[in-house]
Structure 1
Amino acid sequence: MDQTEKRPSTAFTSIDYDKKGKQAGFIMIPHSPHEDAWGATRVPIAVIANGTGPTVIIEGGNHGDEYEGPIAIAELIRDLDPGAIQGRLILLPAINVNAAMAGARTSPVDGLNFNRVFPGDPHGSITQQIAAYMMDVLFPMGDAFLDLHSGGSSLDLLPSAIIEPSPDPELRRKNIEAAKAFDAPLTVVIDNMGDPRTATAAACRAGLITTGTEMAGGGTVRPEALAICRRGVRNVLAHLGVLPPSEKASARNDGKLLELPGAEAHVFATMDGIFEPFHTHGREVHAGEAAGRIHCTWDPTKPPETMHYQADGILYGLRQPGRVRPGNCCAVVAAPYSGTL
């Protein structure tokens, strides 16, 4: 893509984005908290470039308690030979670096969710400044964007490739092709209930071919999910022409698309207590069917409240841990995709 006009920023880096070979370093964002008058927040970054081909930005650690993607990206940084690729990889294993170091969804520095601040602010808080750097500096260099998520500490999701539903028909088609190339067990269209502030929504507005993942979760590393993530990233890079076609593994996915059907996909907690799910992942469920109930064990005179599914489909995600408060997402249903391909 063509470089667009940048908003003024104090961020800097020693990385030369036009240099061939492999570089590893940091995006430095000046930060002056109580304990460090002239310090900087260091966001790890690596660039691997060779020959001619597309520029692919791969991000992990958007949420700091999601681990499979960052591990897979760090392995690419260490192991990938520049001579094996055609194009340029911009690799960000811990983009929300303060959250990644804390193992938390949100940044402990400013309390913000990195995936809800785009397009960011180059003069805002640290999280906003990192998003602005991606929006103003990195996205204009890119042709494609992979945003590797897991369910984090509060959700356990079926491992899947995620499609960002761009309103542009041609970009939507390319996004679907990239997600299918990832070849996760499931491919799901997720629009985050229409929120435009996510990294993938911002990447689509910038015109990048965009796909993401949800690799299990529950605040742990699942060996099977990590294997899917490692394999899927290389599949997409082969699909885009950065890696040779021989790097693409034989397809295992049946090619069907699912989606989260709006707000009805989610079962939200109705009271303070402990969530008891009635079903396990992958089960077929129906609107109106009981999904689980919430127990208030510290007030045994209060009967549990039963919650119900609002959509037909399969049980895609479940709340972890069991302790819930009103509004917490307790279950997620995925349904067959009804949109335009």
Structure 2
Amino acid sequence: MRAAHSPRPSSAFITVDPDRAGKQVGFVMIPHSPHDDAWGVTRVPIAVIKNGHGPTVILEGGNHGDEYEGPITICDMIRDLDPAEVQGRLILMPANNVHAVIAGTRTSPVDGLNFNRTFPGDPRGTITQQIAAYISDNIYPIGDAFIDLHSGGSSLDIIPSAIIEPTDDPELHRRNVAAVRAFDAPMTVVISNFGEPRTATAAACRSGLVTVGSEMGGGGTVSLEALGVCRRGVRNVLAHLGVLAHHKGTSLRGDSQILELPGTSAYVFASADGVFEPFHANGATVSAGQPAGRIHCTWDPTRPPDLLHYAADGILYGRRQPGRVRPGNCCLVVAAPYRGVLA
């Protein structure tokens, strides 16, 4: 935990005491006054499990509302973990983008915002911005590490993987890499999100938190394989950080190779309105210039399909789930061997 700071003025309040020992389950309450509720609140679920001495680890799920393995994993921990198993403190938040979680959508149906593009938020902004601000101002400062659990959501099917968030701090980078490797997913990937600074993991790194990301399957479903990877990986990281004891079932299984998304060349975007036909399955080895798929305009059979090509060598890491596409949709994602420095 770092030095205390003064959070920005906010009307949000919390129903649990983060400093109290034991297990508490409650809500971050953000006053919300829509048409049908003059003095209502948006309730963001939060649990605190505190015991003994050790680091504080924040676990986030539901950053996007159509990503399910992370929230299931966190809810299981809230119900099942005995405080006596913990050395330190867990702050468990399974549904941060709560309106989107309830709706099963990527973005909030209240204000249309992508929660993962709002950090550090605005305590006087829309509901999504206020949630991000509360986490930035009140949750990150009491933490030592942050585990952010994602999947491909409704639009992508992604190989289950642990994610390294880039940072300019060499020591934090070293600690991030060690924690991500401890997750021990089938694949480890460095993802910068086009250099986007408004994500939860980018904000966590700026706050000095050891940061672990993940991408667990997707396609708008719950993958049993990905859920198993997620459950095991979270416990592996918590054991690595000293919050939980090592136990059977945490043995290494991942590939030691670390991959990255090689800039904008990693992505294959739709060039036309139509139905996307991919040519390869996730995990296939592909090369720049190779045909990647085609887009059919099925309502105009006189128009030949648009042929798409890969722009990078590597393996197919993610593939669009819905067949229907429009120009600019991400259809395919390629990961390549990481060329940066790991230590």
TM-score, with structure 2 as normaliser: 0.99
Counterpart residue identity of residue 281, structure 2: T
Name the structure 2 match of 1:124.
Answer: 125
Contact residue 235 and residue 247 of structure 1 kept, 8 A: no
1:15 aligns with 2:25: no
Q: Deviations over 1:169-196 (max 9, x none)?
A: 1111111111110000000000001010
- The Cα of 1:12 is off from its aligned counterpart by 0.3
More moved, 240-249 vs 81-90: 240-249
* Structure-to-structure mapping, 1:99-114, within 5 angstroms: 99-114=100-115
Counterpart residue identity of residue 113, structure 2: L
Name the structure 2 match of 1:268.
Answer: 269
| 3-state DSSP of counterpart to 1:18 | coil
* Structure-to-structure mapping, 1:29-108, within 5 angstroms: 29-108=30-109
Name the structure 2 match of 1:24.
Answer: 25
More moved, 266-275 vs 250-259: 250-259
Q: Deviations over 1:75-94 (max 9, x none)?
A: 00000000001000000000
C-alpha distance in structure 2 between counterparts of 1:277 and 1:283, whole Å: 12
Q: Deviations over 1:187-216 (max 9, x none)?
A: 000000101000000000000000111000
C-alpha distance in structure 2 between counterparts of 1:83 and 1:2, whole Å: 27
Counterpart residue identity of residue 336, structure 2: A
CA RMSD of aligned residues (A): 0.7
Q: Deviations over 1:266-296 (max 9, x none)?
A: 0000000000000001000000001000000
Name the structure 2 match of 1:321.
Answer: 322
Counterpart residue identity of residue 44, structure 1: P
- The Cα of 1:2 is off from its aligned counterpart by 1.9
C-alpha distance in structure 1 between counterparts of 2:228 and 2:110, whole Å: 32
C-alpha distance in structure 1 between counterparts of 2:37 and 2:15, whole Å: 21
C-alpha distance in structure 1 between counterparts of 2:227 and 2:255, whole Å: 20
* Structure-to-structure mapping, 1:1-341, within 5 angstroms: 1-246=2-247, 249-341=250-342
C-alpha distance in structure 1 between counterparts of 2:39 and 2:108, whole Å: 20
C-alpha distance in structure 2 between counterparts of 1:292 and 1:77, whole Å: 43
- The Cα of 1:5 is off from its aligned counterpart by 1.6
| 3-state DSSP of counterpart to 1:237 | helix
Contact residue 143 and residue 208 of structure 1 kept, 8 A: yes
C-alpha distance in structure 2 between counterparts of 1:299 and 1:174, whole Å: 54
| 3-state DSSP of counterpart to 1:303 | coil
Q: Deviations over 1:34-70 (max 9, x none)?
A: 0000000000000000000000000000000000000
Counterpart residue identity of residue 275, structure 1: F
Structure 1 stretches of 4+ moved >6 Å: none
| 3-state DSSP of counterpart to 1:71 | helix
Counterpart residue identity of residue 278, structure 1: F
The runs of 5 or more residues in structure 2 that have no matched partner are none
- The Cα of 1:3 is off from its aligned counterpart by 2.2
Q: Deviations over 1:140-182 (max 9, x none)?
A: 0000000000000000000000010111111111111111100
C-alpha distance in structure 2 between counterparts of 1:167 and 1:262, whole Å: 17
C-alpha distance in structure 2 between counterparts of 1:44 and 1:144, whole Å: 19
- The Cα of 1:254 is off from its aligned counterpart by 2.4
Counterpart residue identity of residue 339, structure 2: S
C-alpha distance in structure 2 between counterparts of 1:158 and 1:72, whole Å: 18
C-alpha distance in structure 2 between counterparts of 1:252 and 1:324, whole Å: 36
- The Cα of 1:96 is off from its aligned counterpart by 0.4
| 3-state DSSP of counterpart to 1:340 | coil
- The Cα of 1:247 is off from its aligned counterpart by 6.0
- The Cα of 1:248 is off from its aligned counterpart by 6.8
Contact residue 99 and residue 105 of structure 1 kept, 8 A: yes
